[in-house]
Every structure is written in C-alpha cells, then in structure tokens.
Amino acid sequence: NAGVTQTPKFQVLKTGQSMTLQCAQDMNHNSMYWYRQDPGMGLRLIYYSASEGTTDKGEVPNGYNVSRLNKREFSLRLESAAPSQTSVYFCATSSSGRPKEYEQYFGPGTRLTVT
Amino acid sequence: DQQVKQNSPSLSVQEGRISILNCDYTNSMFDYFLWYKKYPAEGPTFLISISSIKDKNEDGRFTVFLNKSAKHLSLHIVPSQPGDSAVYFCAASASQFYFGTGTSLTVIP
C-alpha cells in the first residue's frame, strides 16, 4: 500500500521545455489535487479533480494543464516551462463525503527547477 | 491576496511545555479548517480538523480552537515533544482549499 506516489522526485528543465508530472494513488479516493509550494507562499492549489473525468481550476492554473487518466492517476503538464514555475509540486487525494473529503493525503513531492 | 495567514514564521518551545500556533483567515465562507504537519523532503500529513459549527476539537496532545468572530484558529500541542519539530500549515476550505504560509516549530529537548 504505497498511498500517493509522484514521479519524478527531481527535475531540471530549460525554459520552454515541456514535461509531465505523474501522480498515482492506491487509496481508492475520488478526489485528486495538484499544489505548488513556494517559499513564503504556502501551498497553492493549481488544479483539482473531484472525480474521474472532471477537472477544475484552482488558485494558480495558468501555465498548466491536467489529465485525470483514470481513478488512480492525475497528471500535471507544463507545456512551455518558465523560471516562475520553479517550485515543489505536491499531489494529494481525498475521499468523498464530509468530513472525509477535507482530509487530504499528500505525495512526497516533485522538486522542479526551470533555468 | 492571502486568505489564510500564519504571521509567525517560526516558534521555539521547551520540551514538555505548550506550543501554540496561530492562524487567521479573511473569508467568512470557510466552513472547515485543518492543520497539517510537514517534515523536510516529505509531503504534508493531516493532523487535526474542525468544522465551523464547533469551537474546539481535541485529539490526544493536539487541540484546535476556532474563534469565528475573530476569524482566528489556533493549534495547541501539550506537552510538546522533540518529534513535534516540523512546519505546521493551517488550511481552510470553502469550495477549494487555501493554505497558510506555515510556522516552523522547534521543540528544544
């Protein structure tokens, strides 16, 4: 039972390159989320998926796209990376039904540097 | 504009004493509040939560207090232990989640 896994753990990109961050969960949770964490900013929601087949924008969606491939997997794509996207990216999941939907389980993070 | 604020970036407490971490919010539509704990190089882990219809929730050494009129919540840890040393994030939910910037707690043995 791995919980929430993220790949890769580290990545360095050049400006303009593209990449996809992968997230997978084995918790049978309906909802999945992508956050970024920057110094002095806390965690900010990029996109979320309340259930398979649906995605919604969060607080900072510009420059990102997401795909909810199936119930287990939720990927985050940077089409043309910019230095401002240098950050630590966390994937999270939660169950449905209050109050369980409020308790999110996080992956270990992906540290991305864009030069 | 930060809707959830943690104004103390760091806090040091002696082992065995009480740690009090504070959080303020601006949006009166928030209906659920949570605290997460984060160790370096790991993702945050859920600690404790409180619904807006309550003013206190307790779980072992951890108690969260909510003051809706002041738009303020606090996390009390008593007694504090060295293993509690971590960054603590408060979070609030309306239609989506908003996190504070975190408070780094150091418990001194």
Q: Which of A45, A103, A106 sits opposite B96 (nearest CB)?
A: A45
Partners of residue B43 in chain A, C-beta under 8 Å: 4, 90, 92, 106-109
pLDDT digit string, tens, across residues B26-75: 999 999 999 999 999 899 999 999 999 999 999 999 999 999 999 999 99
Beta carbons of A29 and A94 less than 8 angstroms apart = yes
Q: Which of A48, A102, A106 sits opposite B32 (nearest CB)?
A: A102
pLDDT at A97: 66
pLDDT digit string, tens, across residues A46-88: 999 988 889 999 999 999 999 998 999 999 999 999 999 999 9
Contact criterion met (CB < 8 Å) for A99 and B32? yes
**CA–CA min distance B91, chain A (Å):** 9
